[in-house]
Structure 1
Amino acid sequence: MTLFLKKHNIALLLPLLLMLVLFPLRASAEDYSCTASIPVRVSLTGEIDTEFAVQISSEEGDPLPEEDVLKIRGSGNATFGAITYTEPGDYHYTVVQQGGEIPYLTYDDTVYRVTVRVTNNEKGGLTPEIWAIKDEQTEKTAELVFTNVYNPATPTPTPGGEQTPTPGGEQTPTPGGQQTPIPGGQPTPVPGTQQGAGTATSVSALLQQFHIPQTGDQFPLILLVVLVCVAAVGFGYSCYRKKHPKKGGSPGNTK
């Protein structure tokens, strides 16, 4: 009987011992991991409302974050992560910015080679270390920065370009009868153009016939008209006296 109980007790103790041994090992395996995040930054020079995309890819099947493309509007920061690692080692990634076709916008095409080195720490866990190297360089950097530049073209005037209209669209006279625009003005008379009518035109023609210089001043023109009128009256009076002499003239002139 005693031997029977001893055999059954040993059979019951074996599963308990196995549970005590296996569960601590399982818990230690779950704690033997770490996570790492890879930060990126986009910088925009110039004013434009657009979105940029930064992509991460894995080399040799290394673990990736849930989102392998980050969208950043304008200038801003974002992070790839968290990436979980369960074994020590070096994990390699490539981070680039996707290009676009927006006019006057220059996209940064820098290629970053990112390394995540996972090592054992003093507490029996894992610790990540992250650095990046720009393509074709050897210096390590902790920042992944993409600098984009928006520089729209500014039109500049060229000689012989389009003429700028003047206000009003009116014209002013120039020598020779041609006219040029002035702001809000009206055509004004000049020598050689047809302006006015009646007496002014007749006197002007008379002055031209006798080669008398003309002036644009109105007062001398009126004076010339008066003188012509006085001369005409005097000439007419002289003719009248010749045809109708006065009676009782000098004795030598009577018959």
Structure 2
Amino acid sequence: MLCSRHFLKSMKNEEKHKRSRGDSIDGSIRGEYIAFLKAALKDAKAEAEKRVTEAEAEADKRIAEADKRIVEAKAEADKRIVEAKAEADKRIAEIKADAKERIAEIKTDAKERIVEAKADAKERIAEANELTKEAIAAGDKRLSQLFNFGHDMLGNLNRKSTPALERSQAAIRNKKQIAQGCQVRLLEKDREFGFNFLVGLEQELDVESNNAIEGLVRSTEVKSSVAVTKFKRIKNPKSLIKHCVDCVRDACIR
């Protein structure tokens, strides 16, 4: 190929010199030149076909190598995948085993804590029951003391109120006697004393009755004046005197 190029170049230079000198170009040289060009074209075509064949062969070779590498890479990838899967399975098995151990430990710890909590709860419940029993016993004792105190106080009040009741009944009887005496005395008085005397006597009796009631209350040492109030309601001296005044008025009219 290099020779044909060199020859072609020399032919062109010779033709150029001839033209510069004004010489005519020989027909045989032109024929040789054309034949040479055809041969060169044929050689170039053959060379190109050779190169194409070599390139195709090289490409096929490289494709085969690439396919081989792909197969090797795929095999290597499959191998690594299998190894990774085996490693992952192994790791998963280890994690599961570790998890089972941890779960077993947690369950054991939880059972121990539950047992301890139950024991502690039983102790606290027992303490609470004891405290409750003590509180109930103390409450019962306090209620018993209060009941006894109230019973004793009620007995004392009954014992203290009995003499006062007797004195009140005696005072009522005395009031009846006083009222009867007053009525007799009023009937025996002269008419000239009239109503002024009766009114004055009523006031005096009112004062005396109030003093007697106060003395009776002081003597009985009873704070409540229920019996005295009842006595005043049943035997009111004012009503008695008014009754006596009405009787005298009727006698005077007659």
Q: If the TM-score is normalised by the length of the shorter chain, which range does it land in? A: under 0.3
Greater fraction of residues in helix: 2
- With the length of structure 1 as denominator, give the TM-score of the two structures: 0.27
Greater fraction of residues in strand: 1
